[in-house]
Amino acid sequence: MTTSAQIPPALSARRLSRQFGGKMAVQDVSLELRHGEVLGFLGPNGAGKTTLMRMLTGNLAPSHGWVEICGKDLLDKPQDAKAHLGYLPEIPPLYRELAVDEYLRLAARLHRVAPGDITSALHRTKQRCGLASLGNKLLGTLSKGYHQRIGIAQAIIHEPDVVILDEPTAGLDPNQIREIHSLIRDLGAEHAVILSTHILHEAESICDRIQIMHEGRIVFSEAVDRLKQKGESLEELFVHFTQSGKMSTSLNHPGRHM
């Protein structure tokens, strides 16, 4: 019989740092993500969110530290680790010349979905992301809202354990934002999700836990339920922790240990 203690966390990172030239973009970040948890990364522009996401997905090697995805080391066994990972970068990586179905089939094949299962995975994912009517449309002809949804679709078509979404609602209209929110909440039921955003109410409404990043460090981490219990305003916290020079380390407890 397996207990939850024996299953490795969906994602765990220890003491990640990354410098560009002399500048530290990410400093000493540790985090742990349980299965079925939605973790929100908040922070002002340039706080290091995107750099952190790129390290968590193996697009950028950390200067220090390590990342494990479902117990597999991202640096030692990149391919085993990446098989459990779906990633939507800040700019959706779309081939404008391909049709929606072609693109998603390619994503499925590259992520090792068995050839016999690709058609059903494609159907299921399109249904989920509201793309069912778009099979033969070229990606280049579609609107930004669809691009974002196709970006999410390519990140989840292989049913990864960890889904990492970098600002999935940037540049969308309120209706589209609402659709994406319900999709992410839906995802959170089965997958572990990391979400970066700078829209505070977005994080509050869809995340289980929130971490605020500032100048490359995690300066605040708390479960959304606890915040609501304490009646603290996320906006005040955000302003408090991200104003330069007011960094508090007393609340800096990276992730909860299991």
Question: For the chain, how far is it from start to end, CA to CA, in angstroms?
Answer: 19
Q: Which stretch binds another protein (CB under 8 A): 91-99, 124-132, 191-199, 224-232?
A: 91-99
Q: Reduced to 3 states, what is the DSSP secondary structure of residue 157?
A: coil
C-alpha span between 24 and 202 (Å, rounded): 28
How would DSSP label each residue in 5-68? Answer: TTSPPSEEEEEEEEEETTEEEEEEEEEEE-TT-EEEEE--TTSSHHHHHHHHTTSS--SEEEEE
Per rule CB under 8 A, count of chain residues that contact another protein: 32
Q: Site residues for another protein, window 219-248 (CB under 8 A)?
A: none
Q: Site residues for another protein, window 30-59 (CB under 8 A)?
A: 57-59
Give the shortest CB-220-to-another protein separation in angstroms: 27
Judged by CB under 8 A, which of 26, 31, 33, 107 binds another protein? Answer: 107
Judged by CB under 8 A, which of 61, 132, 239, 258 binds another protein? Answer: 61
Q: Reduced to 3 states, what is the DSSP secondary structure of residue 88?
A: strand
What are the start-end ranges of the H helices in the chain?
A: 49-56, 78-82, 100-110, 118-129, 144-156, 174-188, 200-206, 224-230, 234-242
Q: Is 64 in the site for another protein (CB under 8 A)?
A: no
Q: Which stretch binds another protein (CB under 8 A): 36-44, 87-95, 142-150, 218-226?
A: 87-95
Judged by CB under 8 A, which of 15, 64, 96, 144 binds another protein? Answer: 96
Q: Please identify, using beta-carbon distances, which residue of 67 and 203 lies nearer to another protein.
A: 67
Residues 35/161, Cβ–Cβ less than 8 Å: yes
Pattern 110-139, binding to another protein, x per CB under 8 A? xxx---------------------------
Pattern 2-21, binding to another protein, x per CB under 8 A? ----------------x-x-
Q: Nearest-CA neighbor of 177 among 208, 213, 141, 144?
A: 144
DSSP 196: E
Residue recorded with tokens 């990391």: 194
Q: Is 171 in the site for another protein (CB under 8 A)?
A: no
Return residues touching another protein (CB under 8 A).
Answer: 18, 20, 57-61, 78-83, 85, 87, 89, 91-98, 102, 106-107, 109-112, 154
